[in-house]
Structures are given as C-alpha cells and as structure tokens.
Chain A
Amino acid sequence: MNARLAAAVAAGRAAGLGSRLLGRGGGTALPGLVAERVDPAIVAHLGRQLGGGRVLVTGTNGKTTTSRIVAEILREAGRPFIHNREGSNLMRGLASTLLFEARPTGAIPRARRTTGLFEVDEATCPAAARALAPGVFAFTNLFRDQLDRYGEVDTVAALWREALAAAPKDATIVLNADDPSVAELAEGWSGPVHWFGLDDAAFATEYAGAFDARWCRECGGNFAYDRRYFAHVGWWRCTGCDRRRAATQTTGSALRLGLDEATFEVEGIGALRMPLTGTYNVYNALAAICVARVLGLPPEAIAAGLAKVRPAFGRQEVAELEGRHIRLLLTKNPAGANQVLRLLEQLAGGAQGTLKVAVLLNDRFADGQDVSWTWDVDYELAAGEVGSCWVGGDRAEDMALRLKYAGWPAPGAVVHEPAALLDAIVAGTAPGDEVFVVPTYTAMLDLRAELVRRGAVGRFWERGE
C-alpha cells in the first residue's frame, strides 16, 4: 500500500478525533480536508477500491434524501456500502467518509464487494467524477439555487456536462425525464440512460408558480407542457423541434400524499409506501428506485427500503415540544420552498385558516446572503390555509414583509432568537397541535439546537444507523 495514502488516512482520523474531543460538531469535513493536504488524490485512492458499484447522486434539490433512500434499499438487499450520510458532499466530505472506512494501511475492508454511494454537490461533480469513475451517475433536478454562490443555472449545467465528459463511457446515467434541463444531459451521452418520471394527471397544475424559464437547447424553442407538476417540471415538449420528454423505465403513478407518508405505484414493483411526503419526495424516491434497479437490487428490497427511510436532517423531522408536534420542513431555495408550500396546501385539504406555520429566514453564507429569493416563492399558495404564523431568523423582518404582501395573517411574533420563537409558538398553540416550521438551512440548525436544549430532539451525529 502507498505510504502517502496511509499517512493521509492517519492524519484525517487524528483530525476527526480532535474535532470531536473539542466538541466542534460532527467532524464531517475537517478530517477530509486534512487528509487531502497529505494525499490530494485520497478520494481516488480509497474510492476506486470499491468494486460493488460507485454511485454519484447530484441535483440542486433532493440529493440528500435520494441517496438516503438508496442506502436503505442497499441495506435491505444486504449489500455492504459506504455512504457520506451526513451530507458533507464536497471532495473533503467524500474523503472524510472514505478514510474512516479504511484500515491504517489505506485498504478498505471487503472493498471488492462494497458499493460506494456518494451525494455530491453540483459544483463538485467534475472532480468527483474524475476521482471516482462512477458506474452510476444520478441527476435529480436543476433548479435555481443560491445564485450568489454558484452564479447561474447555466453554470451548473456546464459543470454537469464536464462531469459526464470525465465519467466512464459505459456508466449508466439516471435522469429525471420530467426536468428538461436534466433531460438534455442525455444528448451526447453514448452510454445507457435510465429515465424516471411521474405519471399522475391528478397532480398536474395550471399554476406553475414562479420559475426561471427554460427553452430548447437544440432549437431555442419554448417548451409547452401537456402536464406541469411544478416549476419547469412536467410532461414537456419543444414547440420548435421534435424534442420531448423521454419514455421512462421507472414511472411513479397513483400518488397519495399524507401528513407523514406518501404512497405510489411503480410498474414492475407494485404499491409502495414511504414515511416521507410531498411530490418532491416521490421524485427523490423514483430517482433512488432507478439507481437501485441499475445496481440490480430486487423489488422486495426496494419496497422494504422505502418503508424504512427516515427523514434527512431537518427535512420532515418531528420534534415533540410540550406536547406540540413541531414539523421541520427545510427549504434551501425557491423551488424547495414552493414544493413545501404546495404540500401545506395539500395537507390542509381545502380547510381555511387552520394551519399553524413558522417561517425562519437566515442570510448566512450557507443560506445565500441575498434574501431576494423569498419573492420568487409563492407564499400566496398557503395564504388562505394559514391560521396562525410566526416569523424568525436573522432576517425575520424581511420574511414578515414577504408574508404581509402574500396575505398571511399578522404574525404572532417577529423575532430573531430561536428561544423567543419557540416561546411564542408554545404560547400560541395547545398540546396536540401540529406546527409546521419552514426554516432556511442555518436557521434550522439554530432552531434545532434550541429544540435539543429543550430535550425535543437528539444530536444529529449521534443518531444511529
């Protein structure tokens, strides 16, 4: 074994131990960062040992949930696998995940049978593809994300094409047929493509909401939609040439959404149930099912794995606070927020003035420093359904103004501190009430820390597999 790799593994592990001893969080990035200094190719050196399939999962929304679903299916199928579960999805995060699986020599035990499952940040895709030479490469969707971080939607699409150019030519790419910006990745790809999509007319909507326009990469024509599910996602076709949504190998239908679960059918597998709700999570499940099928996992494992999925950090987690059910619904960008609002509207089932909702807006680096995106979110969708609301986070005043213009009722509190927000929520609700909390990423971290302090949830890196 290579001495530099062994030294990198040792350095990374020491950094991880130090970070944990100092109480600096879960230590998901630092070990990899330290190890990469010693061996810049550590991800390739460790990752390419994995012979049970190397899978990359990316997309602007849903990559964490999708890869967690794949992980549950792998577990049910009895396949050994390595997964960057806590969602540190830059190269340093992949390095961290891998080095804790390696022996001091740098050899990963049972590597030939083990599957590598990696959620990868959009901009990290080219480096990850070069390092890991994936056999399966899944793309969930391409929405406008935190634009002050990456620039423009086109930039992300270009990064993905660069990643595919670096991937092995016989890799299977898994694509969302309903997202034309993802679908165009198939053009110029000579290897196999496995498509997933939704076939449920009941979930089509006339109202697209705010979204950034897409048009045909080939001819510049506008897209028309035979069915639009949300934003630019649906049964699209180009009005200028013959490009259109591809036929799908993995198709979701007969969708039903509940407060805690969704059920749907997939041809060749049958009825499926998972303890996550929302159309967007059904898309995540379909992407995961595709990956599982490409890996040759049996339908029984797919059904059982889906049934055991647990919410990812901050996404549909439920905390119990003085008898109130606090439901966290993380939103990171307009597309995600719109889907959460549509879900709230669907859950209200037409009842007016019943929902209790807290919205938290932060503007730190990980949230995106520009809060303009809140004006691209259709808070109007749930205006009639919301009975009480509270506003929190560093930019609570901006959020309160957004909700005022959306026609929401006057908030019970507009406060920065999570403690004050939770006090106001408890004061304004009764035991047994469902309270939906819609935070941005760092606002979710702060609120969660306060919930932990009050004994409402456990520390995330301590949650067992």
Chain B
Amino acid sequence: MTGPAPAPRYQLRLAHLYPDVMNIYGDRGNVLALRYRCQVRGIELKVTDVNVGDPFDPAAFDLVLMGGGQDREQRRIAEDLVAKGPAIRAAVDDGLPALVVCGGFQLWGHRYVDHEGGVIPGISVFDLETRHPGPRADRCIGDVVLSTGAGDVVGFENHGGRTYLGPGQEPFGRVRRGFGNNAEDGTEGARRGNAIGTYLHGSLLPKNPAITDELLLAALRRRYGADVELPPLDDAAEQAAHRSAEAIAARRSRGAD
C-alpha cells in the first residue's frame, strides 16, 4: 500500500543566477550535485532561475549559484547584476551560502578590466579585482588541486583574467597544482562568510562532495537551526573521481604536492 509521500522535513530554495547566459564548461554540474545530494537525503531543493530583468530578493533564498561566461556574456548581465548587488552583499553578510564560478566569481569582485582597458563593474561581495593581461598573454588552463579548510579540492581552470585579492580578502584555497587566481601568489578563489568564489570547473561540486555538503549544511542551519546534521552518503564514486582528477593534476599541472 502506498500513501502520499511524506512531506520532506527540510526544503532549500536555490537561486540560479543567469543560468542560460552564464553557463560554461559544465557549471550546470554544480546544480546537479546539489540536487542529487538533497534528493537522496529527502531534502526538497527548489531551484529558481533568475534571468536579466527578473526581480530577485536574496533574502527569500537559502543558496545562490552563478556560473561563468564569455566576455560578451558577462557584459550582457553586468548591468542587471549591479542592480541586484546591494541586496546580494547584504544577504552574504547575513550568512547566505553561495557558489560563484569563473566569470561569476570575477563579477562578484569590484570589477573586471578587459584587455582593452574596458571595465565591467562588479558587485564587490569579494574584495578583489580582475584584469586581463592582453590578447597575447596565455590563458590559465589546466587541472588544479587546492588545499582548503574543507580538505583538498580538485577542478579544472580556464581563464584569461588574473584576479588579485585585497589585503584582507581570504582565498578559497591555496594552489598545490595549477595557476590559481593570477599564476603568481598561490591563492585561488575567495571566501566571505558562506560564499565561495572560484575559477574551478570540473564541475566543482560533484567531485568535491565535502564542499557540496558544506554549502548544504550552512544553508540548512541558517534556515532550520544550528543543530541540523547531514547524514553521510556512500561517496565511493565521488571519491574515485576526486582521486582520478588529483592523479591527473599531479601528472600534468605545475606545482608540488
């Protein structure tokens, strides 16, 4: 006998910013990872796409995601993002968990300066600036391994811009393999509260379940209280993919373990 499914105990509301425009190199995988890890735990994940011109109240969400895009795509959304910026900053200060990748990461800093000196304004969630060193500079492309507070993180970076953190800005991790923010200072990404900015594709979250669960747990605790726990999952497939990416980075990316 089957009755109606029991109402899920927890619900999370995810805002996916500009999913059609800012989605490159598989950033969609991050949504799939969040959805999967909620689903198997009986957590309802409600995903709302937020596009240019849509009203957006970050206070009505538990998680925010934004992916990367080409330069032309960043230009297309920049004005709209700037309008939404103050509310996003306030929500991040209030503990809103977020993951922003590549182009999204850049625009959550102060500005992106392209190779002709053109400026795309950002929303200053993170204290950082990104500059493109010019059409003849190599892109930073390759496998990455980071050390972070949540353990090793693996991914793939592919960016022309070089990002420089302000003096007090905490990075997401330290580069062990790969280029990181600017190929110079060993930092990668940025953190503010529960918001993470990073260059890592891969997609990031499927292969780094510790980060996925960190975001989910922060979102649940912010909404339902500090005593919420996440039951562990069978992560054999996730860990195998993580180890495989780590081994490949050790073979083909610069750096040391």
Q: Do A and B bind each other?
A: yes
Please, what's the 1-or-0 string for A343-383, where 1 marks a CB less than 8 Å from any CB in chain B? 00000000000000000000100000111111110000000
A75 within 8 A of B: no
Range class of the B interface residue count: 35 or more
**Which chain B positions have C-beta within 8 A of A144?**
24
| A373 and B24 alpha carbons, distance in the complex (Å) | 8
Q: B207: which A residues are within 8 A, CB to CB?
A: 398, 401
| Segment touching B, from A66-74, A93-101, A146-154 | A146-154
Q: State whether the Cβ of A166 lies closer than 8 Å to any Cβ in chain B.
A: no
Check A147–B237 contact: CB distance below 8 A.
no
Known: A213-B73, A372-B25. A400 touches B237 (CB 8 A): yes
Please measure, in the bound complex, the distance between the C-alpha atom of A90 and the C-alpha atom of B206, giving whole angstroms.
36
**With A153-B70, A372-B201 known to touch, is A210 a contact of B23 (CB < 8 Å)?**
yes
B17-30 vs A, Cβ < 8 Å mask (1 yes, 0 no) = 00011011111110
Cross-chain contact A375 with B237 (CB below 8 angstroms): no
- Which B residues are CB-close (under 8 A) to A414? 240
Docked pose: A365 CA to B237 CA in angstroms: 25
- Asked if A162 is at the interface (CB within 8 A of a chain B CB), the reply is no
Cα–Cα distance between A215 and B245 once the two chains are bound (Å): 35
A152 to B25 CA separation, bound complex (whole angstroms): 11
Q: Does A405 contact B (CB under 8 A)?
A: yes
Chain B residue at minimum C-beta to C-beta distance from A400: B237
B237/A370 in contact, CB under 8 A: no
Of the four ranges (under 10, 10 to 19, 20 to 34, 35 or more), the interface on chain A belongs to 20 to 34
Cross-chain contact A213 with B244 (CB below 8 angstroms) = no
Q: With A and B bound together, what is the CA distance between A153 and B21 in angstroms?
A: 13
Residues of B within 8 A of A402 (CB): 29, 206
- A317 contacts the other chain (CB 8 A): no
Flag if A397 contacts B158 (CB, 8 Å).
Answer: no
Tell me, in angstroms, the Cα distance from A144 to B33 when the chains sit together: 23
With A213-B73, A372-B201, A404-B237: A397-B23 Cβ-Cβ less than 8 Å: no
Whether the pair A213, B32 counts as a contact (CB closer than 8 A) is: no
Nearest A-chain residue to B21, judged by Cβ: A213
In the complex, are the beta carbons of B26 and A401 less than 8 A apart?
Answer: no
User: Residues of A contacting B59 with CB < 8 Å?
Assistant: none
Q: How far, in angstroms, from A405 to B70 measured CA to CA in the complex?
A: 27
Given A375-B206, A397-B240, A370–B21 Cβ distance below 8 Å? no
B203 touching A375, Cβ below 8 Å = yes
Contact call A372/B29, Cβ cutoff below 8 A? yes
Give Cα distance in the complex from A414 to B25, angstroms.
24
Contacts of A210 in B (CB 8 A): 23, 28
Enumerate chain B residues within 8 angstroms of A256, measured Cβ to Cβ: none
Q: Is B243 an interface residue (CB 8 A)?
A: yes
B166, chain A: closest CB distance, angstroms: 29
Contact A397 B243 (CB under 8 A): yes
Q: Considering the complex, give the chain A residue whose CB is closest to the CB of B238.
A: A401
Residues on B with C-beta less than 8 A from A397 are 237, 240-241, 243-244
* CB-contact partner of A212 in B24, B202, B244, under 8 A: B24
CB closest chain-B residue, reference A208: B20
Any B CB within 8 A of the CB of A395: yes
Known: A212-B23, A376-B28. A400 touches B240 (CB 8 A): yes
Once A376-B28, A405-B32 are accepted as A-B contacts, the answer to whether A148 and B141 lie under 8 Å apart by CB is: yes
Please name the residue on chain A nearest to B206 by beta carbon: A401
User: Closest Cβ of chain B: how far from A191's Cβ, in Å?
Assistant: 28
Rounded to whole Å, the gap between the CB of B252 and the closest CB of chain A is 8
- The answer to whether A371 touches B24, judged by C-beta atoms less than 8 angstroms apart, is no
Which of A398, A406, A414 has the most C-beta atoms of chain B within 10 angstroms of its own C-beta?
Answer: A398
Which residues of chain A have C-beta atoms less than 8 A from B126's C-beta?
A: none
Q: Which residues of B contact A398 (CB under 8 A)?
A: 207, 241, 244-245
Q: Which of B46-77 contact A (CB under 8 A)?
A: 70-73, 76
B179 to chain A, nearest CB (A): 13
Chain B residues whose CB sits within 8 angstroms of the CB of A370 once the complex forms: 25, 141, 156, 158, 201-202
Beta-carbon nearest neighbor of B30 in chain A: A375
* Complex Cα gap A373–B248 (Å): 17
List chain A residues, Cβ under 8 A from B27: 372, 375
Tell me the complex Cα distance, A401–B235, Å: 10
The yes or no answer to B186 lying at the interface (CB within 8 A) is: no
Q: Which residues of B contact A375 (CB under 8 A)?
A: 26-29, 32, 203, 206
Question: What residues of A have a CB within 8 angstroms of the CB of B23 in the complex?
Answer: 210, 212-213, 376
State whether A371 touches B206 (Cβ < 8 A).
Answer: no
Q: Tell me whether B24 and A401 are in contact (CB under 8 A).
A: no
A413 to chain B, nearest CB (A): 13
Nearest B-chain residue to A149, judged by Cβ: B141
Which of A144, A153, A397 gathers most chain B CB within 10 Å? A397
With a cutoff of 8 Å between Cβ atoms, the chain B residues found around residue A363 in the complex are: 248
Q: Please provide the chain B residues from 187 to 207 with a CB less than 8 Å away from any CB of chain A in the complex.
A: 201-203, 206-207
**A213 to B72 Cα, complex, angstroms:** 11
**Which residue on B lies nearest to A380, using beta carbons?**
B32
A147, B26: Cβ atoms closer than 8 Å? no
Taking a contact as CB atoms under 8 Å apart, the answer to whether B142 and A400 are in contact is no
Query: Looking at B29, B33, B139, which has the most chain A CB atoms within 10 Å of its CB?
Result: B29
B36 interface residue, CB < 8 Å from A?
yes
Q: A369-B142, A400-B241 are in contact. Are A374 and B26 (CB under 8 A)?
A: yes
Residues of chain B touching chain A, judged by Cβ–Cβ distance below 8 Å, are: 20-21, 23-29, 32-33, 36, 70-73, 76, 139, 141-143, 156, 158, 201-203, 206-207, 237-238, 240-241, 243-245, 248, 252
Which residues does A use to contact B, with CB under 8 Å?
144, 147-148, 151-154, 210, 212-213, 215, 220, 363, 369-376, 394-398, 400-402, 404-406, 414
Can you list 27 residue pairs at the A/B interface with Cβ under 8 Å? Answer: A147-B25, A152-B70, A154-B70, A154-B71, A212-B23, A215-B76, A363-B248, A369-B141, A369-B142, A369-B143, A370-B158, A370-B201, A370-B202, A371-B156, A372-B25, A372-B26, A372-B29, A372-B156, A375-B206, A395-B244, A395-B248, A397-B240, A398-B207, A398-B241, A398-B245, A400-B237, A400-B241
Q: Report the 8 A-B pairs with minimum CB-CB distance, sorted nearest first.
A: A375-B29, A372-B26, A375-B26, A397-B240, A397-B244, A372-B201, A372-B25, A401-B241
